[in-house]
Amino acid sequence: MTTTVRGRTAPPRPRVPDPGRLPVGRLLAFTVAGFLAIMTETIPAGLLPRIARGLDVSEGLAGQLVTLYAIGSVVAAIPVTAATRGMRRRPLLLCAVGGLLVFNTVTALSAEYAVTLAARFAAGMASGVIWGLLAGYGRRLVPEHLKGRALAVVGVGQPVALACGVPLGTWLGSLFGWQGVFWVMSGVALLLMLWIRALVPDFPGQAAERRTTVRAVLMTPGVRPVLSVILLWILGHNVLYTYIAPYAAGAGLGGHVDVLLLAFGAAAIAGIWTTGLLVDRLLRALTLASLAGLAVAALVLGVGAESPAAVVVGIVAWGLTFGGAPTLLQTAIADAAGDDADVAQSMLVTVFNGAVAGGGVVGGLLLGPAGVGSLPWVLLALTAAALAAVATTTSPGLGRNRRPTTPTSAERS
């Protein structure tokens, strides 16, 4: 419904969400956006030989397509999100998804290595904006008592893309060639833009008088404890996840890495589903339980590193306890940051991607002198540190503060 103010037509107000159910069709648009961002990042990993031949470079240089994308996400997340806080949410999201459309298309058309790297860096910047937007935007679509569950729906795209992205990209590459895969990604981005424009309501950005500096957001009580837990949790996860292939080979499962990753992804989706049901009532308890369960999984993977059965059990338990991590951490930092949730989410994106890169570096340094068998123990140590950090914090977010579990009077009206 539009209104007229002093002769001008004001934009329609977003519809008040139904306090009893999730707007799944709208939230799934955000799920697909997250899936597309992760797919665009990881898909070159399964196409390296084809990309290397197509661009006439080594596979090592072709692998930098993943690196430049990650760097673009880290570089853009905080400054671009902070600079665009005043923009209306839907146009900004459309611009970010449009960035993936444009730069995936450039990648598909490019025959020059330097141009391709530049396109990947720019696509990573667009991805950083998407990740800075999704959690805060998705939470605005639902009443207070459903915000955690909404984030669980939004977050499903990440484990699905992580589990299926590389094998799916490899399969598509065998059908259409490596450039054809990026055309497919561009097509998905175009369809997603139409979906967002048709179904996702717009919201205003943050009013100028309510904006705080990035430093002030960082100093908000509860934000730094959540960021420290993210760093420990994601760093430990990626120390082992990055080198899952050599680890699996030690247990005689080197030829079944794809099956192990699919099992991990399926368990992670189950973890997200469970988290989504309970996060609005049991955020702190779920975080503690997930970290404790991950510590047990790491112990199984460390003790049973040469046992195929133990490795399978450990990986399924790992996926189940890790799957809900993005939902838990995004909910916690949004709760702590309040009106500055978008900027806080961009900090989460930066720390998250830094931990992903750091996990690869730390794991690589350990492979030579300590061997692949050391990696589960590093995961255990970092998980234990994260568990201790959550158990001892009293700050908002991961502290003992309870979140509303019933609709407010305003939401009911």
Give the 3-state DSSP-derived string for 165-211, with helices as H, strands as E and coil as C. Answer: HHHHHHHHHHHHHHHHHHHHHHHHHHHHHHHHHHHCCCCCCCCHHHC
Q: Could you report the per-residue pLDDT of 352-404, keeping only the tens digit for each?
A: 878 877 887 888 888 778 888 899 999 999 999 999 999 998 888 887 654 44
Domain annotation covers residue 55: yes
Across 282-321, b (16+ Cβ under 10 Å) vs e yields: bbbebbbbbbbbbbebbbbbbebbeeeebbbebbbbbbbb
Average pLDDT over residues 205-219: 77
Domain annotation covers residue 304: yes
**If you average pLDDT over every residue of the chain, what do you get?**
84
| 322 and 270 together in one domain | yes
Amino acid (one-letter) located at 213: T
Instruction: Confirm if 66 and 357 have CB atoms less than 8 A apart.
Output: no
pLDDT exceeds cutoff 80 at 160? no
| 201 and 262 together in one domain | no
Question: 25 CB contacts (<8 Å, ≥6 apart)?
Answer: 199
| 207 and 242 together in one domain | no
Average pLDDT over residues 326-334: 86
pLDDT exceeds cutoff 90 at 211? no
Distance CA 357, CA 237 (A): 11
- pLDDT above 70 as % of the chain: 90
> 56 phi and psi, to 5 degrees?
60, 50
pLDDT exceeds cutoff 90 at 11? no
Domain annotation covers residue 112: yes
> Which 3 state secondary structure label does DSSP give 3?
strand
Average pLDDT over residues 25-51: 88
Tell me what pLDDT residue 407 has. Answer: 41
Six-digit token string for 39: 């797919």
Spatial CA neighbour of 166 closest among 234, 254, 258, 65: 258
pLDDT exceeds cutoff 90 at 144? no
Distance CA 220, CA 226 (A): 11
Average pLDDT over residues 188-198: 96
Domain that holds residue 122: 20-211
| 197 and 231 together in one domain | no
Spatial CA neighbour of 347 closest among 235, 211, 230, 239: 230
Domain annotation covers residue 6: no
Distance CA 341, CA 336 (A): 8
| 256 and 156 together in one domain | no
Tell me what pLDDT residue 262 has. Answer: 81
| 205 and 303 together in one domain | no
| 77 and 154 together in one domain | yes
| 216 and 336 together in one domain | yes
Helix axes 89-109, 157-199, angle to 10 degrees: 120
Average pLDDT over residues 56-68: 83
| 187 and 235 together in one domain | no
pLDDT exceeds cutoff 60 at 413? no
For 72-76, 160-164, 187-191, 334-338, which range has the lowest pLDDT when averaged over its residues? Answer: 160-164
Domain annotation covers residue 1: no
Name the domain count of the chain. 2
Q: Could you report the per-residue pLDDT of 267-315, keeping only the tens digit for each?
A: 888 888 888 888 878 889 999 999 999 999 999 999 998 899 999 999 9
Domain annotation covers residue 3: no
Distance CA 240, CA 360 (A): 8
Tell me what pLDDT residue 290 has. Answer: 95
Average pLDDT over residues 194-207: 90
Q: Higher pLDDT residue, 364 or 224? A: 224
Distances (CA, A) of 2 to 11, 196, 220, 366: 6, 20, 37, 61
Average pLDDT over residues 119-124: 94
| 316 and 359 together in one domain | yes
Domain annotation covers residue 14: no
CATH number for 295: 1.20.1250.20
Instruction: Confirm if 332 and 283 have CB atoms less than 8 A apart.
Output: yes
Helix axes 257-303, 375-392, angle to 10 degrees: 70
Average pLDDT over residues 182-192: 96
Distance CA 212, CA 391 (A): 29
Residue 26: pLDDT band (50, 70, 90) is very high
For 16-25, 141-150, 152-161, which range has the lowest pLDDT when averaged over its residues? Answer: 16-25
| 196 and 250 together in one domain | no
Domain final residue, candidates 211, 244, 274:
211
Residue 10: pLDDT band (50, 70, 90) is low
Tell me what pLDDT residue 410 has. Answer: 34
Distance CA 104, CA 158 (A): 19
Distance CA 167, CA 171 (A): 6
pLDDT exceeds cutoff 50 at 188? yes
pLDDT exceeds cutoff 60 at 238? yes
Tell me what pLDDT residue 411 has. Answer: 37
Q: Mean pLDDT highest for which of 173-177, 259-263, 381-385?
A: 381-385
| 339 and 389 together in one domain | yes
Six-digit token string for 287: 């975080």
Domain final residue, candidates 211, 244, 276:
211
Domain final residue, candidates 211, 245, 280:
211
